[in-house]
Amino acid sequence: MYIYDDYDQKIVDQRVAQYRDQTRRYLAGELTDEEFRPLRLQNGLYIQRHAPMLRVAIPYGHLRSAQVRKLAELARKYDKGYVHFTTRQNVQYNWPALENVPEMLAELATVQMHGIQTSGACIRNTTSDQFAGVAFDEIVDPRPWCEIIRQWSTFHPEFAHLPRKFKIAVNGAKEDRAAVMVHDVGINVKLNDAGQVGFEIFVGGGLGRTPMIGDLIKPWLEPKHLLTYLNAVLRVYNRYGRRDNKYKARIKILVKAMTPEVFAAKVEQEWAFEKDGPQTLTDAEIARNHRFFTAPAYESLAGDDAEFAAAKAANPAFARWVERNVFAHKVAGYAAVTLSLKKTGVPPGDATDAQLDDVANLADRFSFGEVRVSHGQNLILADVKQADLFALWEEAKRIGFATPNIGLLTDVICCPGGDFCSLANAKSIPVAQAIQERFDNLDYLFDLGDIDVNMSGCINACGHHHVGNIGVLGVDKNNAEYYQITLGGRQGVDAKIGKVIGPSFAQEEMPDVMSKIIEVFVAHREGDERFIDVFDRIGAEPFKAKVYEGKPIRKEKADV
């Protein structure tokens, strides 16, 4: 894990001082609302439905137990005793007082945390695979590259006020768990035949109002050129990205307007001036960043642990949890565990201060003191000995984090929606909960297998509904909350935007709608086929026929 030195600490401390002064000037009337807004946003502070909301950065989703305890402490001291984990591997406080935020940031800085660039029109916190460094299917560990990008993007002076927010994701495994195809810049770290590391660069992916899959503009970039190339991409965007219309300001619109080929050529042209310039990475710097992400002190263990196997055989509930929530590790005798924040009845992604303290203890006891946040809004203990899994499971059950539903229908990705977010057209949390309640039978859920359900309370797509196998989007119809369904979306290497199936539904209809979709799936399923494979095979029609059966056909403008 990356550890600050005096330089990193000084930068964060100076930020705290700067923001303290900005808040003071705002409260003294020296900064207008309009002036303060972009400044506070770049510190993660939104003004929301009930109160301000503070988003805290968790670079590529990594936390040490001391940081988790600090998050818990702040939730107790300055908030209502809980936090919300987001799809961008960050964490949000829903109820801080604006006056307290400088102090919260000062406390965060003591554990090397901050709210830098978690919002606003700048390069946002870089995200990655929650299993980076441990995944059995990993080709190259993406974390040193994430850290190099983090440093380069932090307070990058030229790109401090971009046309719009800018998100970078890095993946280094065969599977893409970082959703690189729906980021402004998506990076796959690769190995060539000679065993050398290089990057594949996608640009112009993104969700929101105009969802798009990114285009490959650079199939192979040598590592030392990573930052000069990113500089070139960002400069083209900063200069030519649209600023006249907030909805057309993302890089994806520029790439589409120019065509990916022309955009790529423009970047090459710009890069020609940057290449081999001062920002070229040195071997020493690459090596320095790699030293932070070395393997912890693993014991050398024989393959599969015998006691673990016996516990699975003896305890079906444990076996079920292992099947869903335990992920194969690249080191023999170890496993990565997902703690589910998707227990029925709890808003997806929420955790209380007490739970956070418990998780910190579990991390210390079982996983080298490290916790990770996943893009699916769950927490990960990445390095657990197989022999400890049973003990961990029992503890996780006690905390309420052992729901064996990772990847299942109830592992809903869900934005805060109308309960918290002032941009929302509809609530999403109660709909997620109603669906969780409807599918509460674990055996049934289990049989259904992998299904991504993603929900957003508005067109901004914070819940990634476009890339859910089943996507739910809250829309506003004559001041009433309605929900539009998309099917067939997916993230990953074959990322695809889902298609709207037709008119939207009222909140109380949603569990039935979901049941009907599942019925169609089950009726057409062959063997253990996944939902998405059935969908690809039979198309949307059978689903439409079932969910709109007996409904008067209304014409409605799709909102996507």
Partner 1 sequence: MSKLIINREIVDNRWTRVVANEQGEVSLPSEGAVLVPYQYWLANRDALSNREVAVCFAPTDEPESLPVDANVFPMIACEFPAFTDGRGFSIGRLLRVRYGFKGELRAVGDVFKDTLNYLARCGFNAFEVRADKDINEAIKGIDDFTEFYQSSVDVPSPLYLRRPVAA
Summarize as ranges the residues that interact with ligand HEM (CB under 6 A).
46, 48, 53, 86-88, 92, 167, 182, 206-209, 250, 415-416, 420-421, 423, 460-464
Q: Is 415 a binder of ligand SF4 (CB under 6 A)?
A: yes
- In angstroms, the Cα distances linking 274 to 185, 207, 220, 280 are 18, 30, 17, 9
Supply the Cα-derived Rg of the chain in whole angstroms. Answer: 23
Which of residues 22, 125, 228, 456 is near ligand SF4 by CB under 6 A? 456
Nearer to partner 1, 22 or 128 (CB): 22
- Who contacts 103 (Cβ-Cβ below 8 Å, separation ≥6)? 78
Q: How far is the CB of 245 from partner 1 (least distance, A)?
A: 14
Residue 292's CB: how many other CB atoms inside 10 A? 12
Report how far residue 456's alpha carbon sits from residue 426's, in angstroms, rounded to the nearest whole number: 9
Least gap, CB of 120 to partner 1 (angstroms):
9
Residue 5: contacted member of ligand SF4, ligand HEM, partner 1, none (CB under 5 to 8 Å, by partner type): partner 1
* CA separation for the pair 44, 120 (Å, rounded): 8
Distance separating alpha carbons of residues 343 and 402, to the nearest angstrom: 8
DSSP state, residue 207: -
Site map for partner 1, 139-158, x if CB under 8 A? ------------xxxxxxxx
Q: What is the largest CA-CA distance in the chain?
A: 68
Residue 277 contacts partner 1 per CB under 8 A: yes
Shortest CB 498 distance to ligand SF4, Å: 15
Q: Which does 227 bind (CB under 5 to 8 A by kind): ligand HEM, ligand SF4, partner 1, none?
A: partner 1
Q: Kindly provide the residue ranges of all beta strands, DSSP E only, lying in 150-244, ordered along the sequence.
A: 168-171, 185-191, 197-203, 215-221
Distances (CA, A) of 237 to 159, 162, 258: 10, 8, 11
169 and 203 Cβ atoms separated by less than 8 Å: no
- Residues 238-267 touching partner 1, rule: CB under 8 A, are 238-239, 243
Selection from partner 1, ligand HEM, ligand SF4, none that 46 binds (CB < 5 to 8 A by kind) is: ligand HEM
Cβ closer to partner 1: 280 or 361?
A: 280
SS3 content of the chain, % helix, strand, coil (to 5): 40, 20, 40
- Draw the binding track, 104-143, toward ligand SF4 (x: CB under 6 A; -: no contact): ----------------------------------------
Contact 425, 465 (CB under 8 A): no
Q: Does 16 bind partner 1 (CB under 8 A)?
A: no
Q: Which is nearer to ligand SF4, 363 or 458 (CB)?
A: 458
**CB 560 → ligand HEM: shortest distance, Å?**
13
Binding residue for partner 1, selected from 47, 98, 106, 160, defined by CB under 8 A? 160
Touching ligand SF4, residues 420-439 (CB under 6 A) = 421, 423-424
Stretch that binds ligand SF4, among 60-68, 102-110, 299-307, 415-423 (CB under 6 A): 415-423
Find, among 547, 383, 348, the residue nearest to 462 by Cα.
Answer: 348
To ligand SF4, the closest distance from the beta carbon of 463 in angstroms equals 6
Distance of alpha carbon 306 from alpha carbon 81, whole angstroms: 41
- Cα angle 205, 208, 209 (rounded to 5 degrees) comes to 110
Question: What is the C-alpha separation between 69 and 75, in angstroms, rounded?
Answer: 10
Token reading at 196: 């050398």
- What tokens does 474 get? 């809250």
Does residue 146 contact residue 59 with C-beta atoms inside 8 Å? yes
- The interface partner of residue 457, options being partner 1, ligand SF4, ligand HEM, none and the CB cut-off 5 to 8 Å by kind, is ligand SF4
The site partner of 456 among ligand SF4, partner 1, ligand HEM, none (C-beta below 5 to 8 Å per kind) is ligand SF4
Residue 195 found at the interface with partner 1 (CB under 8 A): no
| Token code pair at residue 181 | 């195809």
- Binding to partner 1 (CB under 8 A): which residues in 213-242? 227, 235, 238-239
Give the 3-state secondary structure of residue 74. Answer: helix
Interacting residue with partner 1 among 38, 260, 333, 542 (CB under 8 A) = 38
Binder of partner 1 out of 110, 279, 361, 507 (CB under 8 A): 279
Which residues, 6 or more positions from 285, have their beta carbon under 8 angstroms from its beta carbon?
Answer: 148
Residue 301 CB: number of other CB atoms within 10 A? 14
Q: Which is nearer to ligand SF4, 463 or 489 (CB)?
A: 463
Contacting positions for ligand SF4 (CB under 6 A)? 415-417, 421, 423-424, 456-458, 460-463
Contacting positions for partner 1 (CB under 8 A)? 5, 7, 10-11, 14-15, 17-18, 22, 30-31, 35, 38-39, 121, 151-162, 227, 235, 238-239, 243, 273, 277-279, 281-282, 284-285, 288
